[in-house]
Amino acid sequence: MYQRFENNIKTADKRFVRLGLIELQERDSENNILASNVWRPDRKGGVAGLLMRQQSQQNTYYMTNHLGHGKYRDGTYNEDGKKLRC
């Protein structure tokens, strides 16, 4: 659970669904899903293990190149890597 206070007043309250240390979902104080994460099955977390994050009806895709550098794409793409219009 994450709670944020400003001037002794709680301004944010988040909960997390985890599998070990891997964060699967982020939820609000009423248990509504704010974001979901999809991870590589062969990684134990970290930037290179995150494949996709869905938040506010938008998908963000995370990829790594052959050197392990992280990159991301947001939106929806076809097989050729071209962005589709919604």
**Whole-number pLDDT of residue 86:** 43
Q: What are phi and psi of 47, to 5 degrees?
A: -60, -40
pLDDT band at 11 (very low <50, low <70, confident <90, very high): confident
Give the pLDDT confidence of 17-43 residue by residue, as tens digits: 999 888 999 999 899 999 999 998 887
Rounded (5°) CA angle 59-65-71: 35
Q: Is the CB of residue 43 less than 8 Å from the CB of residue 63? A: no
pLDDT band at 2 (very low <50, low <70, confident <90, very high): confident
